[in-house]
Amino acid sequence: MTAVVTDAHYRMSVALIRDLGEAGVRVIACEKESFASPVGFSSRYASRCVQLPQTDNPDALYDLCRAEFETTGEKPALLPVGAQTLAMLSREQARFSAVCGLCIPTPEQLALFNDKAAVAALAARHGVAVPQSYEKEADEEADAFFARAALPCVVKPICGEQFGLHAEARYRIARTKDDLQSAFAHFSGLTHDAPVVQEYLPGRGLGCSVLCRAGEIVCAIAHRRVREYPVTGGPSSCCQVIDPAPLLPLVTPLVRETTYTGLAMFEFKEDSAGKPHLLEINPRVWGTYPLTRASGSNFALCWLALSLGQSAPEYRAPDPVKMAFYPSDFAAMLGYLKRGEAGKFFAGLRDVFSPNVKNGLAERADPGPSRAYYRQLFVKRRKP
- Give pLDDT, residue 190: 84
**How would you class 298 by CB atoms within 10 Å of its CB: exposed for 0-12, middle for 13-18, buried for 19 or more?**
buried
Residue 192 CA: distances (Å) to CA of 53, 62, 157, 184, 187: 30, 33, 10, 11, 8
277 near 129, Cβ under 8 Å?
yes
SS3 242: strand
All residue ranges of the chain with pLDDT < 50 are 382-384
Q: What is the pLDDT of residues 348-359, one digit of tens each?
A: 999 999 999 999
What DSSP letter does each residue of 190-223 carry, written as one string? HHSSPPEEEEPP-S-EEEEEEEEETTEEEEEEEE
- Name residue 208's beta-bridge partners: 222, 266
- Give pLDDT, residue 167: 64
* Whole-angstrom distance, CA of residue 286 vs CA of residue 304: 17
Measured between its terminal Cα atoms, the distance across the chain in Å is: 45
Closest CA to 299 of 214, 222, 207, 205: 222
Query: pTM for the whole thing?
Result: 0.89
215 near 187, Cβ under 8 Å?
no
* Whole-angstrom distance, CA of residue 176 vs CA of residue 184: 12
Walk across the sheet containing 216-228 and list its strands: 276-282, 262-270, 205-213, 216-228, 236-242, 322-324, 357-359
Q: What is the pLDDT of residues 10-58, one digit of tens each?
A: 999 999 999 999 999 999 999 999 888 899 999 999 999 999 998 888 9
- Give pLDDT, residue 384: 46
Length of the chain: 384
